[in-house]
């Protein structure tokens, strides 16, 4: 693992504003100063799990004797902890991830421990970057900015940080929103892991940022319009793009506890289609394969012969709004038309297509069993669609599972999924999640072996086992989809599938 303390930056030009600033101070020991400071953490490691920040006044003291020992909530990739207030002093600072069931500090897997100074009216800013298996931790000591001493009430402060270790130096430009790159002004060269000097720009304006490789004029990234409506303090980071667009970069704007991502303007989108449409007597022409047509204002995409239980290839298309039509493969037999999907810039999405039945009440009297034989008189079949976003980052120590319930039953409203480890039973399983029909849910599972049980509760309050599945997660695993569907070939009438995202 790598610990880094960046070289110091001259603060002679840094002006004070009300929100909290991030800029490197010259070293000094303010541990005896009266007052308070802050600590903040930003997770820029794409394969890291949620990271816990712990601050301890004295690691040699018993927990009960410490005046300060606190572990803050975990911070996921691209997120920030915000500013946590502390009395001015020296503290041991730890970064760790949850390895076992407990989130107690002593049970976390530590990746960093250093004694840092929290100075009066300053922020200790901690950044995790790189590969979590060889973590790179950078620390910055930062002034708190006070606008009471600033005559420039119509300006805001901004600094930039390159956390993409594929590029040691990047040139950053900016322009007004109504200007082009040819009219842009170079702000700075962003050296990897070095926080830039403060820049003051006018608020109530929209800006566009551009990134090139240092010394080049080929624009690799152009932001959408970025609005700064208040005289706050901002940091914008440049990180690797894990989305579906062609630009190598995304910028995160950090402000307090908020992190906002900005993709490349006009960026492409990536998507694929999964065919989960089961056969049905009402559509005898359907033999398990479909053709999909997606039409936007200026483009059309056709995908042919997607088999039941199969993904289409991933396609890169213009972002925008698309009308979707689905037909039986090789025919004009229409299964679905005019469903609208919006593929946003840099999106990486999967579209699921599935069949549902609904009871028909021909005379609108509310009775769907006119002959009282205990059976629904008639059903109407429809093809539905669901678009979900794929993960942009996936930890090597834990993995996200998106749960999709495609069972539309009159007997139960939700399906509860239990992920049972070898030393557990269903009743005491640590991991479980309920999913209603057509409403995706996400759960993060640590690396381990699990037996998955899908259980529904019927109208008589009886638990029904719909299916089970084995799952083993390790550092090589990917994020997954977990689907439950109606399946007449299974003894329970349902099947569970695990699919890689």
How much is the pLDDT for 450?
A: 98
Residue 142: its H or E element:
strand 136-143
pLDDT in tens, 41-68: 999 999 999 999 999 998 887 656 668 8
Two tokens, residue 38: 């802050």
The CATH topology of domain 2-147 is Immunoglobulin-like (2.60.40)
Q: What is the pTM of this model?
A: 0.85
> Has residue 16 got a pLDDT over 60?
no
Hey, how many other C-beta atoms are within 10 angstroms of the C-beta on 100?
A: 11
Q: What share of the chain has pLDDT > 70, as a percent?
A: 87
What is the overall mean pLDDT for the chain?
A: 88
Edge to edge, what strands does the sheet with 258-262 contain? 199-202, 155-162, 233-240, 249-255, 258-262
Whole-angstrom distance, CA of residue 178 vs CA of residue 25: 36
Two tokens, residue 282: 């009402």
Residues carrying CATH 2.60.40.10, the chain: 392-501
Two tokens, residue 428: 């005491």
Q: What is the DSSP string of 51-99?
A: EEEEEES-TTS-GGG-S-EEEPPPB-TT-B---EEEESEEEEEEEEEE-
Yes or no: domain 153-262 corresponds to CATH 2.60.40: yes
Edge to edge, what strands does the sheet with 51-56 contain? 69-71, 51-56, 89-98, 108-118
Q: Would you mind telling me the total number of residues written for the chain in this entry?
A: 501
SS3 183: helix
Burial letters 50-63, b for 16+ CB under 10 A, else e:
bbbbbbbbeeeeee
Whole-angstrom distance, CA of residue 81 vs CA of residue 103: 17
Class of domain 268-390: mainly beta
pLDDT in tens, 196-220: 988 888 888 899 999 999 999 999 9
Hey, how many other C-beta atoms are within 10 angstroms of the C-beta on 488?
A: 9
Q: How confident is the model over 482-499, as a mean pLDDT?
A: 93
Q: Which residue has the higher pLDDT, 30 or 48?
A: 48
pLDDT in tens, 247-293: 999 999 999 899 999 999 989 999 999 999 999 989 999 999 999 99
Q: What share of the chain has pLDDT > 90, as a percent?
A: 72
Q: Which architecture does CATH list for 392-501?
A: Sandwich (2.60)
- HSE of 233, CA atoms in CB hemisphere, 13 A: 24
Two tokens, residue 408: 């539309």
Closest to 52 in 3D by CA, of 104, 89, 119, 116: 104
Whole-angstrom distance, CA of residue 20 vs CA of residue 3: 24
Q: How confident is the model at residue 1 (pLDDT cuts 50, 70, 90)?
A: low
How much is the pLDDT for 322?
A: 96
């Amino acid at each position: 693992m790598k610990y880094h303390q960046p070289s110091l930056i001259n603060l002679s030009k840094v002006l004070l504003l009300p929100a909290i600033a991030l800029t490197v101070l010259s070293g000094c020991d303010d541990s005896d100063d009266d007052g308070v400071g802050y600590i903040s953490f930003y997770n820029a490691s794409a394969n890291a799990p949620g990271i816990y920040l712990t601050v301890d006044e004295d690691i040699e003291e018993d927990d009960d004797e410490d005046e300060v020992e606190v572990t803050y909530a975990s911070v996921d990739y691209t997120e920030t902890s915000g500013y946590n207030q502390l009395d001015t002093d020296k503290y041991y600072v730890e970064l760790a991830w949850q390895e076992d069931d407990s989130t107690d500090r002593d049970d976390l897997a530590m990746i960093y421990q250093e004694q840092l100074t929290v100075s009066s009216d300053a922020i200790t800013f901690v950044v995790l970057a790189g590969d979590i298996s060889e973590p790179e931790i950078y620390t910055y000591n930062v002034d708190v900015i006070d606008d009471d001493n600033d005559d420039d009430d119509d300006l805001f402060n901004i600094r930039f940080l390159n956390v993409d270790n594929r590029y040691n130096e990047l040139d950053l430009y900016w322009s007004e929103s109504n200007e082009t790159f040819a009219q842009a002004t170079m702000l700075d060269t962003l050296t990897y892991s070095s926080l830039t000097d403060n820049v003051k720009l006018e608020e109530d304006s929209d800006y566009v940022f551009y990134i090139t490789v240092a010394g080049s004029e080929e624009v690799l990234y152009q932001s959408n319009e970025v609005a700064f409506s208040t005289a706050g303090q901002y940091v914008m980071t440049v990180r690797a793009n894990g989305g579906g667009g062609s630009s190598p970069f995304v910028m995160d704007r950090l402000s307090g506890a908020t992190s906002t991502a900005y993709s490349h303007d006009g960026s492409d989108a990536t998507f694929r289609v999964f065919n989960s449409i089961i056969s049905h007597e009402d559509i005898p022409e359907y033999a398990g394969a479909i053709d999909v047509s997606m039409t936007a204002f200026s483009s059309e995409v056709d995908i042919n012969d997607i088999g039941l239980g199969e993904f289409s290839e991933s396609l890169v298309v213009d972002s925008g709004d698309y009308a979707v039509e689905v037909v039986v493969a090789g025919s004009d037999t229409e299964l679905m038309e005019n469903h609208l999907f919006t593929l946003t810039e840099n999106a990486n999405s999967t579209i699921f297509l599935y069949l549902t039945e609904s009871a028909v009440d021909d005379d609108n009297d509310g009775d769907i069993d006119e002959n009282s034989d205990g059976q629904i008189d008639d059903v109407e079949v429809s093809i539905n669609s669901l678009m979900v976003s794929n993960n942009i980052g996936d930890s090597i120590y834990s993995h996200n599972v998106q749960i999709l319930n495609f069972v539309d039953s009159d007997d139960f409203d939700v399906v509860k999924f239990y992920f049972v480890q070898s030393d557990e039973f269903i009743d005491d399983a640590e991991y479980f999640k309920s999913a209603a029909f057509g409403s995706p849910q996400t759960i993060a599972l640590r690396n381990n072996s699990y037996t998955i049980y899908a259980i529904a509760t019927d109208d008589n309050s009886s638990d029904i086992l719909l299916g089970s599945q084995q799952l083993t997660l390790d550092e090589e695993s990917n994020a997954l989809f977990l689907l439950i569907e109606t399946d007449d070939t299974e003894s329970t009438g349902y099947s569970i599938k695990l699919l890689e995202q």
